[in-house]
Copies of this chain bind each other. A is one copy, B any other.
């Protein structure tokens, strides 16, 4: 299988590339290092150094004997994406090439515009490159569970049957994201669904929850192959931030009441899900949508779990509450379905104490690199 990974330098892009290469796919990764640029600009460096793509592919070849092709370029540039798709003739494209940070998208006008133009621009260029050069190619698009927001009804997998005044029809499940970043993913969905209808594209939209972990079968061969670990308020996830705070002796900063509940998954499960989606392509003209997570956790539960494990390891972990910089419900109903990927064969793993302990150990080995200035919220959704 020929698989093109857009955003192949990213937290998930690179581990996906290694996994598929080990499975025997012909893999090409494409990236323009936008994420690294934005992280540098915002003082949000990852905890462990991350070699550039060409160095990573050399290291990976040395441990695995597998090649991963690399192209450096901007996926909003239509002529660039056209050339790549035309020449590589992928069976599938995994589209991770988006600005992934909610707080970044809320910093100001420049960041909002960059997020909007990059995310919608890459999706638009991918759609047109596929329509023109590889119309049968399966697009696996990374959406986010955050597109749904926190509605007061059960969250279905992408679609909902609505009965209304004695009639019924099936619609995209209504979406309302909690940041401009999430909103750009909604726009992506609208755009993809339009071209699926008119041009019979094959699309799988993976509505993914927050991912944790840095351990994958391939990354564990050499620490320099590990996925990027961001722990700051802009590019880090809440889980990573808590892990670093636990090690650095800073109270875990719970935003508001901490009742914010999301569907989380281990990075190994992301790799499983993407591979399952790739091995069973969506039919032509179908926009197949899966909710991609394995367990629901609230911010409060995550903080307590990390505190418990950390304290047993001899760390002195405390919790604190900070004013929520985001506009979001802190206590809410949350019942999203996530059956589709289980039906395809997903074997979930969970955030056990062992997983937390392993992550805390890794962070502890790199504790000299922690920059404590970037763990408190620097971006507010609304200015006073």
A residues touching B (Cβ–Cβ < 8 Å)? 78, 106, 109, 112-113, 116, 120, 124, 128, 132, 151-154, 160, 162-165, 167-169, 171-172, 174-177, 180, 183, 186-187, 190-191, 193-194, 197-199, 327, 333, 381-382
Task: State the 5 A-B residue pairs at the shortest beta-carbon distance, nearest first.
Answer: A171-B174, A152-B169, A153-B164, A183-B194, A153-B167
Q: Is the CB of A153 within 8 A of B176?
A: no
Smallest distance from the beta carbon of A46 to chain B beta carbons, Å? 29
* Residue in A106, A174, A176, A333 whose Cβ sees the most chain B Cβ within 10 Å: A174
Q: Is the CB of A169 within 8 A of B151?
A: yes
Known A177-B194, A187-B191, A198-B327; further 13 A-B contacts with Cβ < 8 A: A109-B128, A109-B132, A120-B187, A151-B171, A160-B164, A171-B176, A176-B197, A183-B190, A183-B194, A186-B190, A187-B187, A187-B190, A197-B327
Residues on the B chain within 8 Å of A333, using CB: 167
Residues on the B chain within 8 Å of A327, using CB: 197-198
Q: Is the CB of A191 within 8 A of B183?
A: yes
The residue on B at minimum CB distance from A161 is B164
The residue on B at minimum CB distance from A199 is B382
Can you offer 24 A-B residue contacts whose CB atoms are under 8 A?
Answer: A78-B109, A109-B128, A120-B120, A152-B167, A152-B168, A152-B169, A153-B164, A153-B167, A154-B164, A154-B165, A160-B164, A162-B162, A167-B333, A171-B174, A171-B176, A174-B174, A176-B197, A177-B194, A183-B190, A187-B187, A187-B191, A190-B190, A198-B381, A199-B382
Residues on the B chain within 8 Å of A198, using CB: 106, 327, 381-382
A78, B186: Cα distance in complex, Å: 23
